[in-house]
């Protein structure tokens, strides 16, 4: 019997199923909607086809052997509404991934509450509904949290765990352990809209669209700049680490200039940045910022940052060897 279940057989559920199957686990992909035999068979064919196609793509890219595709796909058990009670009865971790409406969530959790054991950890993969709202729908809210996956779910390592005040710390730790065991990288955030990644990326994407609208740059040039400038640097350094590395005073000054010349509301630095500048917590150069650098070998740290950046450049094929001769 599967220890894991994804409730909702759409894109997200299928991606989660692949992630667990790839890691060697059986997982139930559960569809709670009452369907005719014909529509159920159509859904099964579509889901199995997408799962196999995704695995075949990974095989073509060398992530697994072609001979492994069928064995991995076979670890995903498609379960209809009739089979849901038995499939959910013994699972340890459930991922709800039904459509993004409170009505759909309420209906799904009514059944999940009824079928799952008291010891099961319940999660929602919602991207838009707060964990505090959904916690009201579950029988044991202390065993509930939101878990936001990034598409494609089987490929992107980060999963964002959003907890409410009543989420049990042991449940959070067990969830972290389970996700880490399948190769995921859990990050924790509070019950705020947008999690971490969607909140950051929405600002960047909207600003890119605005630049095209204003005629500041073409789509092609913006994409080149983000892939090999912004994206490359933030792949080597996290956003907050990047602030410390350059200095909060630099961010404060740049924000003030852009607030004056572009848009005061969009570019104004938050109060925390101004406070850090006033208090002299500028980052690496002052010994403290968002991180504390006291006692740290800063020369070694800077070499590590350089090594990370060089690694990204080499991966992108953008690093050139030095010239052997001096140009005239």
Cβ(208)–Cβ(226) below 8 Å:
yes
134 CB neighbour count, 10 Å cutoff: 25
Among the candidates 154, 189, 224, a domain finishes at 189
Largest CA distance in the chain: 79
The Cβ-side half-sphere exposure at 294, using a 13 Å CA radius, reads 4
Using the 3D structure, point to which of 166, 189, 212 is the last residue of a domain.
Answer: 189
Classify strands 144-149 and 158-162 as parallel, antiparallel or unpaired: antiparallel
What span, in angstroms and rounded, lies between the C-alpha atoms of 299 and 94? 46
pLDDT per residue of the chain (328 residues) written in tens, 0 to 9: 789 999 999 999 999 999 999 999 999 999 999 999 999 999 999 999 999 999 999 999 999 999 999 999 999 999 999 999 999 999 999 999 999 999 999 999 999 999 999 999 999 999 999 999 999 999 999 999 999 999 999 999 999 999 999 999 999 999 999 999 999 999 999 999 999 999 999 999 999 999 999 999 999 999 999 999 999 999 999 999 999 999 999 999 999 999 999 999 999 999 999 999 999 999 999 999 999 999 999 999 999 999 999 999 999 999 999 999 999 8
pTM value is 0.93
Q: Are residues 155 and 225 in the same domain?
A: no
- Residue 129, domain member (yes or no): yes
**Cβ contacts of 4 within 8 Å, gap of 6 or more:** 20, 25, 26, 27, 28, 91, 92, 93, 94, 95
What is the H or E stretch that residue 236 is in?
A: helix 231-236
Q: How many structural domains is the chain composed of?
A: 2
39 and 166 share one domain: yes
Q: ∠ at Cα 167 (166, 172), nearest 5°?
A: 160
Q: 218 and 109 share a domain?
A: no
Domain that includes residue 13, residue range: 4-189
User: Contact 148/195 with Cβ under 8 angstroms?
Assistant: yes
């Amino acid at each position: 019997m599967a220890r894991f279940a994804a409730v909702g057989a759409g894109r997200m559920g299928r991606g989660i199923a692949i992630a667990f199957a790839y890691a060697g686990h059986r997982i139930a992909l559960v569809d709670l909607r009452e369907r005719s035999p014909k529509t159920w068979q159509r859904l099964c064919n579509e889901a199995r086809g997408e799962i196999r196609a995704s695995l075949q793509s990974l095989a073509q890219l060398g992530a697994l052997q072609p001979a492994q595709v069928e064995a991995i796909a076979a670890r995903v058990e498609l379960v209809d509404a009739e089979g849901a009670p038995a499939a959910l009865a013994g699972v340890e971790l459930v991922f709800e991934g039904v459509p993004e409406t409170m009505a759909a969530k309420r209906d799904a959790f009514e059944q999940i509450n009824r079928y799952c054991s008291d010891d099961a950890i319940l999660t929602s993969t919602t991207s838009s509904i707060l964990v505090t709202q959904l916690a009201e729908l579950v029988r044991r809210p202390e065993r509930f949290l939101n878990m936001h996956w990034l598409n494609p779910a089987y490929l992107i390592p980060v999963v964002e765990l959003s907890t409410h005040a009543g989420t049990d710390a042991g449940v959070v730790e067990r969830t972290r352990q389970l996700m880490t065991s399948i190769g995921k990288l859990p990050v924790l955030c509070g019950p705020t809209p947008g999690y971490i990644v969607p909140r950051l990326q929405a600002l960047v994407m909207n600003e890119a669209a605005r630049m095209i609208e204003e005629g500041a740059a073409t789509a092609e040039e913006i994409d080149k700049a983000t892939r090999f400038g912004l994206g490359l640097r933030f792949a080597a350094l996290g956003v907050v680490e990047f602030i410390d590395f350059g200095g909060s005073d630099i961010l404060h000054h740049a924000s003030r200039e852009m607030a004056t010349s572009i848009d005061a509301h969009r570019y104004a630095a938050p109060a925390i940045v101004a406070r850090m500048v006033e208090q002299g917590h500028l980052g690496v150069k002052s010994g403290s910022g968002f991180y504390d650098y006291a006692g740290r070998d800063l020369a070694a740290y800077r070499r590590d940052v350089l090594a990370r950046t060089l690694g990204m450049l080499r991966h992108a094929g953008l690093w050139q060897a030095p010239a052997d001769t001096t140009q005239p």
